Amino acid sequence: MTRVRFGSTIVPIERLDVSAYTVPTDFPESDGTLTWNETTIVIVEAQAAGVRGLGYTYADVATATLVKAMLAEVVTGRDAMAVPGCWLAMVEAIRNLGRPGIASMAIAAVDAALWDVKARLLDLPLVTLLGAARESVPVYGSGGFTSSAPEHLQHQLGAWVARGIPRVKMKIGRHPAEDPSRVRAAREAIGPDTELFVDANGAYTRKQALAMAERFAGYGVTWFEEPVPSDDLEGLRLMRDRAPAGMEIAAGEYGPPHARGWCGRRVASRCITLRRDHRLFAGWRALRSAFPPTLGALLPLAACSSLLCVAHCSAPGVLP
C-alpha cells in the first residue's frame, strides 16, 4: 500500500485512462419502450500516487470520447482527495454541451473512478468512505426482457431464486395483452415466497397501468416500476394513490439526479413511494447531494456473477 501524506500536501491526479467495449447480447433484448442487441460499457481508470481507481457507465462510445477529449484534462493535476471539487470542475467544463445525457454519464464514470481512488488511498472500503445509512441493502435479480420466450423467462428468474436471491424483476409493456400471462409464468417459476417486481419503462397509459396493477396484484407483485413515463407526475401520483395495497410505485432511473428540482418534484408531489437512481448515470457525488439521508442508503451492492446489482434509494413509507 502506497503511503500518502494528507493535509497541506495535495495528492495530484496523475492520469485518466478511458476505454470502451461493445458487447453483443446473446439474443435481441427489449423492454417496454426500447430494443437493442448490444451494450457498450465505458471504463474510466484514474491514477494518483500510484494507486488506480475504476469507474464505469453504460453509454455510447461518444461518452468515452468526451472523457478523453475534455474531462481528463479537467481533473488531471487536481487533488484526488477533493473529489467534490473535481466533480464541480467537470460540471463547469461541460456547460455549453448540455448537462443531461452523454455529459452526465461521462462525469459519472470519472466521478466513480475518483471516489475509488480516494478510498484506496485511505485504505478504506468505498461504503465506509461515503458513509453508510444501513448495514445492508436488499438485492434483486433484474432481467426477464420482453423479448424472452416464456421458458427462458422462467429459467432465468428461477435460476436466480435457486441461487438464493429472494427478489426478481422482469420487464413488461412491449405487448400489454401478453403481460398478465408472462407475470403468471414468472410467479410459477419462482414460487410463492419470492418477491416479484415488474418494470414497464413508461410504456403504459395511466388507465392501462391501473388495470395492469390490479391484475399483477393477483400474482403477488410488490414493486411496479415506471408504470407510466417518469415525467408524468400526475400519472405517477394516480398510480401511487390507487395501486393495490402492498404494491410500491417506483420511478426516477432515467431522470437527471443532479437536478434537485427534478427529483424534488417527485418527492414534493408525493407521486412515488420508491425512488430508483442509477449511479452509472449520475455518479456518487450527484446521488449523495440530491437527497437527504432519510430517503435511503446509497450503497453499491455486490456483483453476483452476471447479475449486476446497482445502488438504489429506497424509502417505502417515507412519504405519507
Q: Are residues 122 and 137 in the same domain?
A: no
Does residue 151 lie in a domain region?
Answer: yes
Angle at 68 between CA 62 and CA 71, to 5 degrees: 100
Examine residue 167 and state whether it is found in any structural domain, yes or no: yes
Of 97, 127, 157, which one is at a domain's C-terminal end? 127
| Residues of the chain below pLDDT 50 | 1, 260, 277, 279-282, 286-320
Is residue 70, in this structure, part of any structural domain at all?
yes
Whether 91 contacts 107, CB under 8 Å:
yes
Same domain, 115 and 140: no
Domain count, the chain: 2
pLDDT at res. 134: 85
Q: Is residue 241 part of a domain?
A: yes
Task: Specify the pLDDT at position 137.
Answer: 84
Shared domain check, 113 and 152: no
> Does residue 302 form part of some domain?
no
Q: Tell me whether residue 320 is in a domain.
A: no
Tens-place pLDDT, residues 213-271: 999 999 999 999 999 998 898 999 999 999 999 999 998 776 555 554 555 555 555 66
Pair 249, 146 in one domain = yes
On whether both 81 and 147 belong to a single domain, the answer is no
Asked whether residue 198 falls in the same domain as residue 75, the answer is no
C-alpha cell belonging to residue 231: 415525467
Residue 30: per-residue pLDDT = 97
Please state the separation of Cα 30 from the chain's center in Å. Answer: 18
294 exposed, middle or buried (CB, 10 Å; 0-12, 13-18, 19+)? exposed
The grid cell for 216 is 399483477
Q: Does the global pTM surpass 0.85? A: no
Please indicate, yes or no, whether residues 112 and 43 belong to a single structural domain of this protein. Answer: yes
Alpha carbon 51 to chain centroid distance? 27
Last residue of a domain, one of 66, 97, 127: 127
The CATH number linked to 222 is: 3.20.20.120
Q: CA-CA distances (angstroms) from residue 8 to 4, 5, 146, 265?
A: 12, 9, 55, 41
CB 41 within 8 A of CB 21: yes
Domain boundary among 90, 110, 127: 127
Residue 2 domain-assigned (yes or no):
no
Tell me what pLDDT residue 213 has: 98
User: What is the per-residue pLDDT for 254?
Assistant: 67
Examine the domain organization and report whether 212 and 243 are in the same domain.
Answer: yes
Nearest alpha carbon to residue 130 among 253, 20, 248, 293: 293
207 and 285 part of one domain = yes
The verdict on 117 and 254 lying in the same domain is no
pLDDT at 16: 97
Report if residue 8 sits inside a domain.
no
Domain hosting 233: range is: 133-295
Shared-domain flag, residues 116 and 138? no
pLDDT one-digit tens code per residue, 114-142: 999 999 999 999 989 988 888 888 899 99
Distance CA 32, CA 179 (A): 10
CATH number of the domain residue 40 falls in: 3.30.390.10
In a shared domain, residues 76 and 203: no
